Amino acid sequence: RQSLRIGLIPADGIGREVIPAAKEAIIALGSDIPKPEFVDLIAGWECFTRTGVALPEETVDALKNDCDCALFGSVSSPSRRVVGYSSPIVALRKEMDLYANIRPVMSVYPSQKPSIDLIVVRENTECLYVKQETQQQGEHGREARATRLITERASRRIGQMAFELAHARPRKHLTIIHKSNVLSVTDGLFRETVRGVPLLPEVNGKYNDVEIAEQLVDSAVYRLFREPEVFDVMVAPNLYGDILSDAAAALVGSLGLIPSVNAGDNFVMGEPVHGSAPDIAGKGIANPLASIRSAALMLRRLGYIKGADRLDLAVDQVIREGEILTPDLHGKSTTQEVLAAVLKNL
């Protein structure tokens, strides 16, 4: 391919401030990647209020047929139920079969203690996010129920992804997160299936060098705050992975630093872990570094290692120098100023 077609879905709130910054950083890579061509796509709450659809068919079609990869910003999903609305990011992950959400969390400053260098591998298609909720009138008022789906297939493939990542890292350590002491059927299936991955015939002993640990999700959060250095790769069902990665983000300073990729076997979509941040949206002070790092993760998964390394190094340098930072990192700079500092390093 002569060019790299990148779908851009800024969606809502600060997504519209940080995704354009990531785009500029990608352009600055020049010939280290194939010539980028950007495909502007819409989705989100604002899209829903304007068009009645949160995830237009054209967006999904363009991703499937016209893009090599994508970057997603953040959506503003309302906390109340809105008829006809459903979070487009949850739908996109399922629609594009992006079954793994890979979220690296690393200490910002080399001197930071305790030192944190972990990856949360979050199952991305099922658990409570199948969103099958019902409500009915019961004997003592309304009763609400939700279905929590855990399948062997999804647990196996997220397990494979997690073992592959752990196997490639120096420490080769994997912690399985679950709550099987209470949810022995659903989390039991997740735990047992992930544990079985190294024994699969097709794996052929490849993961025998990975040390396996497991931890109940509540004590995993406790441990994350007390001794985060024990964790290397953590694999978790969807909801636990969502919560654990925000918790880990707090330990390294800001959600505005934490990138992710939504990965499947055939497509990859970078996405900052944070949401649309209505408290700071429109002020021009959103931290663009999580999105630039998400672009790096996306490029790395596509095999453009040099481009990815350059983005990461440029971001690291801005953080290390500590002079041009947004307010979430106790700085006074704007999104544009931080972007300019990254571009200068590139």
Active site residues: 129, 179, 218, 242, 246
278 binds, among ligand NAD, K ion, Mn ion, none (CB under 5 to 8 A by kind): ligand NAD
- Of 42, 43, 75, 108, the one binding ligand NAD (CB under 6 A) is 75
Listed ranges 62-70, 94-102, 109-117, 273-281: which one lies at the site for ligand NAD (CB under 6 A): 273-281
Using CB under 6 A as the binding rule, the residues of this chain from 199 to 258 that contact ligand NAD are 255-256
157 binds, among ligand NAD, K ion, Mn ion, none (CB under 5 to 8 A by kind): none
- d(Cα 106, Cα 127) in Å, to the nearest integer? 27
> Any idea what the Cα angle at residue 312 is, between residues 308 and 315, rounded to 5°?
140
- d(Cα 332, Cα 285) in Å, to the nearest integer? 9
The one-letter amino acid at 22: A
Site string for ligand NAD, 281-320 (x = CB under 6 A): -----xx--x------------------------------
Listed ranges 71-79, 128-136, 183-191, 195-203: which one lies at the site for ligand NAD (CB under 6 A): 71-79
Decide if residue 242 touches Mn ion (CB under 5 A). yes
- d(Cα 107, Cα 203) in Å, to the nearest integer? 32
Round to the nearest angstrom and report the end-to-end CA distance of the chain: 24
- d(Cα 235, Cα 167) in Å, to the nearest integer? 13
> Any idea what the Cα angle at residue 50 is, between residues 272 and 59, rounded to 5°?
50
CA distances from 57 to 46, 60, 143, 182, 245 (A): 16, 5, 34, 40, 30
Closer CB to K ion, residue 198 or residue 256? 256
Q: Which pairs from 187-192 meet CB under 8 Å and 24+ separation? A: 187/150, 187/237, 189/150, 189/151, 189/152, 189/155, 190/123, 190/150, 190/155, 190/237
- Of 7, 270, 275, 307, the one binding ligand NAD (CB under 6 A) is 275
Strand 69-74 with 268-270, pairing: parallel
Closer CB to ligand NAD, residue 16 or residue 178? 16
- d(Cα 108, Cα 134) in Å, to the nearest integer? 43
Place of tokens 């992006």: 98
Least distance in angstroms from the C-beta of 103 to K ion: 11
Token pair recorded at residue 271:
């996405």
Decide if residue 279 touches ligand NAD (CB under 6 A). yes
Closer CB to ligand NAD, residue 20 or residue 275? 275
Site string for ligand NAD, 317-346 (x = CB under 6 A): ---------x-x------------------
242 binds, among ligand NAD, Mn ion, K ion, none (CB under 5 to 8 A by kind): Mn ion
Binding site for K ion (CB under 5 A): 74, 271
Closer CB to K ion, residue 119 or residue 194? 119
Tell me the number of residues near ligand NAD by CB under 6 A.
Answer: 21
Which residues form the interface with ligand NAD (CB under 6 A)? 14, 18, 74-77, 89, 255-256, 274-280, 286-287, 290, 326, 328
